[in-house]
């Protein structure tokens, strides 16, 4: 039987980068798979290149799914890189003193206040920013926030914990950086606005507001690496490659990219020496990534679910899906923004093709399709409005919206198939309530687009609502190939 991974039997010859010292310099919130395959790897490599006290004090949000095995494994885990030519495994050793935020929120607040920590990184998903879908600002009136804002209790929300941690940090006055590593447009600005809204709603003192404004930086960043959920086959592959049983390995593609603004109030690891790109053109890179990759990913996911394709590579292999996605990239996404200097979009799309084709990744369409009510806000409205305001219809953005509706809020009489039931979406109940009693597809779509699930500016574009309704009717009556053919015209 293979021995359980721990520090005494760990295969340190497979170490990626360097082990962290016990002193931690980074607090990380959201200890899911992505952070462990992305920022953690860059940090290990940066420490190998240039040293530094950049151990990571990590907090999972609410589950012990990652924390329990990592504690048992002396904070070690492996990364399983999946390429078409085979798999390689490496060992990561940068996390220290892990915790679970919901079980001990005060520990998070104290860690952020601790002057030894200079950066807070976040991968808490779009849901973790507790934003209002219509305004994009902090949803201060939402049930998740009202209770904690009214009381002086330790907060439960991510933004609340950051705001309270920074409030306590005023005592030392030490500067800090809050770095969002989530798939959000202008992620740094979004995080700053959410923290500022929270402080405002909590009645923070002017000293605190001034401290956050002057001494805390919120750089924008674009993050990219396809990191699916861990399965038993990943655990078995690691056992075969490293000779130890890792209960929390992270599978990932070999492609990785991180583009950041170099605005770190209290220093940073030498992430540049680990391959991260520091530039003033982050916004353009975010556009490329969030629209061409993530926007297309949503379309591949929903059309895949409706076609019975369980994984991204299976969906991408369908001609109808492929043509819709490539049409969307060419007609609906590429014209909406300026590419970064010297960026070759054709090469990028060819790379996307290879990444989505990779059969070893097994990225579930239901995972990519989850939380669409939050993710689509990053991927559809701005690009759609760009076209609509110039009198053009973004047919593939309408198709993506229709496919999402067909999966998570299907019209009466349509059953989207077994995979759709596994798509998690926090708005499912509210969507069902909104469409209850709708008699026509047009009415159904109108109740969603005009029901506060999308920004008011998009809801005001009647032609878009009509086009979504038409495509939803074709999708539910004639299927995916007919709808993608319709969207192509
Ligand atoms: N997996 C990828 O391929 C990938 C690639 C680029 C960026 N990202 C970004 O990283 C995020 C996390 O991806 P992952 O693969 O680690 O997913 P995951 O499911 O493994 O982890 C999600 C993390 O978000 C936390 N979370 C979810 N809802 C929250 C809430 N309301 N408040 C606070 N925390 C909450 C979870 O507890 C968990 O730690 C994504 O949502 C995305 O923004 C992921
Ligand atoms: O991570 P999400 O949930 O925002 O979106 C799902 C995927 O599109 C996403 O995880 C991509 O795999 C990733 O953004 C690639 O870098």
Residue ranges of domains in the chain, CATH in brackets = 3-278 (3.40.50.720), 283-488 (1.10.1040.10)
Asked if residue 222 has its Cβ within 6 Å of ligand 2, the reply is no
Average pLDDT of the residues of the chain = 96
CA 241 to chain centre: 29
Give residue 294 CA to ligand 2 midpoint distance, Å: 6
pLDDT computed for residue 223 by the predictor: 98
Give residue 34 CA to ligand 2 midpoint distance, Å: 9
Asked if residue 368 has its Cβ within 6 Å of ligand 2, the reply is yes
Give residue 229 CA to ligand 1 midpoint distance, Å: 11
Alpha helix positions (H), 51-118 = 67-72, 105-113
Instruction: Give the closest residue (by CA) to ligand 2 atom 4.
Output: 183
Instruction: State the closest ligand 2 atom to the C-alpha of 224, by its place in the atom list counted from 1.
Output: 16
Of 313, 316, 323, the closest CA to residue 484 belongs to 323
Tokens 């953690």, residue located: 40
On the question of pLDDT at 448 being above 90, the answer is: yes
pLDDT computed for residue 159 by the predictor: 98
CA 474 to chain centre: 31
Instruction: State the closest ligand 2 atom to the C-alpha of 375, by its place in the atom list counted from 1.
Output: 4
Give residue 286 CA to ligand 2 midpoint distance, Å: 13
Distance CA 95, CA 167 (A): 25
Instruction: State the closest ligand 1 atom to the C-alpha of 184, by its place in the atom list counted from 1.
Output: 43
Give residue 157 CA to ligand 2 midpoint distance, Å: 22
Instruction: Give the closest residue (by CA) to ligand 2 atom 8.
Output: 294
pLDDT computed for residue 249 by the predictor: 98
Give residue 7 CA to ligand 2 midpoint distance, Å: 32
Confidence of residue 188 (pLDDT cuts 50, 70, 90): very high
Give residue 30 CA to ligand 1 midpoint distance, Å: 6
Instruction: Give the closest residue (by CA) to ligand 1 atom 41.
Output: 125
Instruction: Give the closest residue (by CA) to ligand 1 atom 1.
Output: 227
Give residue 33 CA to ligand 1 midpoint distance, Å: 8
Report yes or no for ipTM above 0.85: yes
pLDDT computed for residue 383 by the predictor: 98
Instruction: Give the closest residue (by CA) to ligand 1 atom 18.
Output: 32
| Contact partners, residue 276, CB within 8 Å, separation at least 6 | 42, 258, 259, 260
Give residue 122 CA to ligand 1 midpoint distance, Å: 9
Residues with CB under 6 Å of ligand 1 are 30-34, 60-62, 123-125, 127-128, 158, 182-183, 223, 225-227
Confidence of residue 461 (pLDDT cuts 50, 70, 90): very high
pLDDT computed for residue 133 by the predictor: 83
Which 3 state secondary structure label does DSSP give 86?
strand
Distance CA 421, CA 314 (A): 19
Asked if residue 183 has its Cβ within 6 Å of ligand 2, the reply is yes
Tokens 């990053």, residue located: 378
On the question of pLDDT at 248 being above 90, the answer is: yes
Probe ligand 1: pick from 27, 28, 32, max atoms within 8 Å of CB? 32
Whether 351 and 284 have beta carbons less than 8 Å apart is answered as: no
Instruction: Give the closest residue (by CA) to ligand 1 atom 24.
Output: 124
Which 3 state secondary structure label does DSSP give 98?
strand
Confidence of residue 143 (pLDDT cuts 50, 70, 90): confident
Model confidence over 189-235: pLDDT tens digits? 999 999 999 999 999 999 999 999 999 999 999 999 999 999 999 99
Half-sphere exposure of 100 (CA within 13 A, CB side): 12
Instruction: Give the closest residue (by CA) to ligand 2 atom 6.
Output: 368
Probe ligand 1: pick from 101, 123, 372, max atoms within 8 Å of CB? 123
140-161 mean pLDDT: 89
Instruction: Give the closest residue (by CA) to ligand 2 atom 7.
Output: 368
Tell me, yes or no, if the pTM score tops 0.90. yes
Which listed ligand is nearest to 297 at the C-alpha? Answer: 2
Model confidence over 408-432: pLDDT tens digits? 999 999 999 999 999 999 999 999 9
Give residue 304 CA to ligand 1 midpoint distance, Å: 22
Confidence of residue 380 (pLDDT cuts 50, 70, 90): very high
On the question of pLDDT at 168 being above 80, the answer is: yes
| Contact partners, residue 415, CB within 8 Å, separation at least 6 | none
How many angstroms separate the Cα of 230 from the Cα of each of 236, 309, 353, 361? 11, 19, 23, 10
Give residue 179 CA to ligand 1 midpoint distance, Å: 14
Probe ligand 2: pick from 285, 292, 297, max atoms within 8 Å of CB? 297
């Amino acid at each position: 039987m293979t021995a359980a991974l721990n520090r005494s039997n760990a295969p340190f010859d497979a170490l990626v980068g360097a082990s962290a010292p016990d002193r931690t310099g980074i607090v990380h919130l959201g200890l899911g798979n992505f952070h462990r395959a992305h920022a953690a790897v860059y940090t290990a490599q940066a420490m190998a290149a240039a040293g530094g006290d950049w151990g990571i004090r990590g907090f999972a949000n609410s589950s012990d799914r990652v924390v329990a095995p990592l504690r048992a494994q002396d904070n070690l885990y492996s990364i399983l890189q999946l390429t078409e030519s085979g798999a390689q495994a490496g060992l990561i050793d940068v996390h220290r003193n892990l915790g679970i935020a919901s079980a001990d929120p005060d520990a998070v607040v104290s860690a952020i206040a601790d002057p030894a920590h200079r950066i807070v990184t976040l991968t808490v998903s779009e849901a973790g920013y507790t934003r209002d879908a219509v305004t994009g600002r902090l949803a201060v009136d939402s049930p998740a926030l009202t209770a904690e804002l009214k009381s002086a209790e330790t907060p439960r929300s991510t933004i609340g914990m950051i705001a309270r941690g920074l409030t306590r940090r005023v005592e030392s006055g030490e500067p800090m950086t809050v770095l969002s590593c989530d798939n959000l447009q202008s992620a740094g600005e979004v995080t700053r606005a959410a923290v500022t809204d929270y402080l405002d709603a909590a009645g923070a003192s002017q000293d605190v507001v001034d401290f956050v404004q002057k001494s805390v930086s919120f750089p924008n960043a674009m993050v990219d690496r396809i990191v699916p959920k861990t399965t038993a086959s990943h655990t078995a592959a690691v056992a075969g490659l490293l000779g130890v049983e890792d209960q929390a390995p992270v599978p990932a593609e070999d492609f990785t990219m991180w583009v950041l603004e170099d605005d770190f109030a209290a220093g940073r690891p030498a992430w540049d020496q680990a391959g991260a790109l520091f530039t003033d053109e982050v916004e353009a890179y975010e556009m490329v990534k969030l629209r061409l990759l993530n926007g297309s990913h949503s379309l591949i996911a929903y059309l895949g679910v409706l076609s019975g394709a369980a994984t991204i590579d299976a969906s991408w292999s369908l001609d109808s899906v492929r043509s819709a996605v490539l049409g969307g990239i060419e007609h609906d996404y590429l014209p909406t923004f300026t590419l970064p200097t010297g960026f070759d979009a054709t090469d990028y799309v060819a790379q996307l093709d290879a990444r989505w084709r990779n059969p070893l990744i097994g990225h579930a369409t239901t995972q990519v399709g989850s939380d669409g009510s939050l993710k689509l806000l990053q991927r559809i409205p701005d690009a759609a409005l760009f076209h609509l305001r110039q009198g053009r219809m973004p047919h593939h953005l309408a198709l993506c919206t229709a496919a999402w509706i067909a999966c998570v809020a299907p019209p009466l009489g349509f059953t989207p198939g077994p995979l759709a039931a596994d798509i998690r979406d926090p708005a499912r109940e509210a969507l069902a309530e909104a469409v209850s009693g709708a008699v026509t597809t047009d009415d159904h779509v109108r109740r969603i687009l005009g029901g506060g699930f999308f920004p008011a500016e998009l809801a005001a574009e009647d032609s878009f609502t009509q086009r979504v309704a038409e495509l939803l009717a074709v999708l539910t009556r004639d299927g995916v190939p007919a709808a993608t053919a319709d969207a192509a015209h």
